[in-house]
Amino acid sequence: MNEEILQNIALIQERINNACKESNRNPNEVKLLLATKTVPAERIKMALQTGHTLIAENKVQELKEKYEALKEIPHTNHFIGHLQTNKIKDLLRHNVTCIQSLDRLDLAEKLHQRLQFENKTIEVLIQVNTSFEESKFGTNPDNAIELIKQVAKFDTLKIKGLMTIGLFSAETEKVRKCFRLLKDIQQQIIALNIPNVEMQELSMGMSGDMETAISEGATIVRVGSAIFGQRIYPDSYYWNENLG
């Protein structure tokens, strides 16, 4: 089991390297994030030994459960799930440096209030629903710029870029359209030169579509099942409001 994790990570690194070669990019520009939902702390520890230390959970509950076990091992925590405002306090207690799933103004407001109170700042990515699927979180692409202008006013929130989940489809060109749209929004925002807004990160691409995402400019790929194996819960459990 654990050997397998190490082999899988080596394979993923190879996929990243190959995808970068294809599109004339430097592999150092693409960070591998380990998506660890449903994975027990012991297995995450194995993965951290490879030197890939950027990990992310989707639920505050899981972040809490694994926190003690992972504490002694140096790593960086991002958050990639739907965040309910009543979980903000708890999330901020568990050493998360970036929330990649900021997708609405009321969440930004509540985060800002709490961060001000704690005299802290946090990095955020704005999650955009580039596939226009109702089941997925993320701001509508048409609203992304307006949302960013609003979030930029909160000085506790450091905007570092954008995140998206591509369409689930075997048709690569349809998936590519999602990633292109994210890149396009990024370019529009850069051109606006909004104070307190940086746009260096494009978090896009997962186990099934990372090559396409890298060719469209991904700087962070989020990989779960190709490293840790298939999950027993359907992803709708994590991505759908009603079931989350």
Ligand X SMILES: *Cc1c(COP(=O)(O)O)cnc(C)c1O
Which parts of this chain interact with ligand X (CB under 6 A)? 35, 37, 58, 80, 165, 206-208, 222-226, 238
Question: What residue is closest to ligand X based on CB?
Answer: 224
Nearer to ligand X, 6 or 194 (CB): 6
Tell the residue number behind the tokens 């930004």, with chain if given. 108
Nearer to ligand X, 160 or 222 (CB): 222
Nearer to ligand X, 25 or 57 (CB): 57
Beta strand 220-223 pairing with 31-35 = parallel
Rg, the chain, Cα only: 17
Tokens of 109: 């407001």
We find the least distance from the C-beta atom of residue 207 to ligand X, in angstroms, to be 3
Nearer to ligand X, 58 or 77 (CB): 58
C-alpha 35/C-alpha 19 separation (Å) is 20
Q: Backbone phi, then psi, for 163, in 5-degree steps? A: -135, 145
We find the least distance from the C-beta atom of residue 110 to ligand X, in angstroms, to be 21
We find the least distance from the C-beta atom of residue 93 to ligand X, in angstroms, to be 22
We find the least distance from the C-beta atom of residue 210 to ligand X, in angstroms, to be 8
Nearer to ligand X, 126 or 165 (CB): 165
Tell the residue number behind the tokens 């509508």, with chain if given. 140
Tell the residue number behind the tokens 């954008």, with chain if given. 162
C-alpha 108/C-alpha 156 separation (Å) is 10
Q: Count other C-beta atoms under 10 Å from residue 77's C-beta.
A: 20
We find the least distance from the C-beta atom of residue 125 to ligand X, in angstroms, to be 11
We find the least distance from the C-beta atom of residue 38 to ligand X, in angstroms, to be 9
Nearer to ligand X, 103 or 183 (CB): 103
| DSSP per residue, 133-186 | -TTS-SB-GGGHHHHHHHHTT-TTEEEEEEE------S-HHHHHHHHHHHHHHH
- Judge whether 66 and 41 are in contact, CB under 8 Å: yes
Nearer to ligand X, 35 or 115 (CB): 35
Q: Name beta bridge partners: 98.
A: 78, 123
Q: What separation in angstroms does the CA of 38 have from each of 7, 32, 224?
A: 20, 18, 10
C-alpha 148/C-alpha 161 separation (Å) is 10
We find the least distance from the C-beta atom of residue 49 to ligand X, in angstroms, to be 20
